[in-house]
Structure 1
């Protein structure tokens, strides 16, 4: 796992750089993202460890992936991300994790995630920008995907895709660990 201070410094540098490149004031980014001006200031100064939802909202407002916000290397055309440098962004109360494995801009943000959830854990995701699609492949256990007010059972070996511009929940309603791989595709900013 990368050094948390390195990740925090990269987030601070990248948010400030991208905000400036796009000509957004702190107030404008706050309005676009729904994240308070004060929180953005703390992020840009590297004084806070924001939640996944906060980082997602800022990335969406800037039109970039979480991976771009957390990128602490300027790399070549081919970039290998060692397993110990993947960034865990969600930790469940029973030890589950949501880890960003890699991400690119293609032409919009494209992210690859590894999720592990203990029995009874769940993650509630806020709506992403219109046109965002998620694809989930259940490796172990059974996912209960809540989308559009319905629960969809997705057993091991199955893959599901859905419009992620609506609130959704990943839940492990089973009795053993749930493990899934997820791809998130966000359309490029207009």
Structure 2
């Protein structure tokens, strides 16, 4: 079969194309940068990302090594579904305050870069201290009720009900309730 593809090769080629494009974008790399890191020509990489050509095993291994993923990740035909539901029974309380406040992980994606969605309730007087996350991590908080005391890297801001704040999660930070009523907020974490 000169030049032909065996059955199933089209699906594998599409899986490789989709995965390499997504991982390269996740790293923020250009085609040239990935080609250089993997030691393959840009033309080979372009063909691969467009689902054309038939890359050999050595090329796939060099690309997977450069991207920091196992080879199986590149050739998996099964695509992650476009929607993953996290029903209430899958929500996990991962923090409990001394007064009964909670930090509940509602949903998350994987692998990195990962996105997490949290629901928080801080009772009066409670504070959640957080160490710095990996470099580049960003967080967004939206206060649904009360006033949140947000401290990031030594700076403190009051985030009032109905307001949102974006901040560097790769610095030490804390969420606090200095008032006399509950503070409720939603938090998204982009962990790079």
Structure 2 residue aligned with 1:84, among 70, 85, 89? 89
What residue number does 1:31 align with? none
Q: Following superposition of structure 1 onto structure 2, how do residues 30-109 of structure 1 map, counting pairs within 5 Å?
A: 76-105=81-110, 108-109=113-114
Q: Which residues of 2 match residues 167-186 of structure 1 at below 5 A?
A: 167-186=172-191
For residues 81 and 182 of structure 1, the distance between their equivalents in structure 2, rounded to whole angstroms, comes to 16
Structure 1 position 106, deviation (Å): 7.2
User: Where does residue 146 of structure 1 map in the other structure?
Assistant: 151
Stretches of structure 1 that go unaligned for 5 or more consecutive residues are: 1-62, 64-74
The separation in 2 between residues aligned to 1:79 and 1:109, in whole angstroms, is: 14
Q: Deviations over 1:22-72 (max 9, x none)?
A: xxxxxxxxxxxxxxxxxxxxxxxxxxxxxxxxxxxxxxxxx9xxxxxxxxx
Q: TM-score, normalised by structure 1?
A: 0.57
Aligned length: 114
Aligned counterparts of 1:157 and 1:100: Cα–Cα separation in 2: 21
SS in 1 for 2:89: helix
Q: Could you tell me how far apart the structure 2 residues matched to 1:109 and 1:119 are?
A: 31
2:101·2:123 contact (CA, 8 Å) conserved in 1? yes
Q: Of 120, 128, 131, which aligns to 1:115? A: 120
Q: SS of the residue aligned with 1:105?
A: coil
Q: Deviations over 1:92-118 (max 9, x none)?
A: 010000000000137501000000010
Listed as ranges, the gaps of 5+ residues in structure 2 are 1-67, 69-79
Do the aligned residues in 1 keep the contact of 2:112 with 2:191 (CA within 8 Å)? no
Superposed displacement of residue 77, structure 1: 3.8
Moved over 3 A (4+): none
Deviation at 1:150, TM superposition (A): 1.8
- Aligned CA-pair RMSD: 1.7
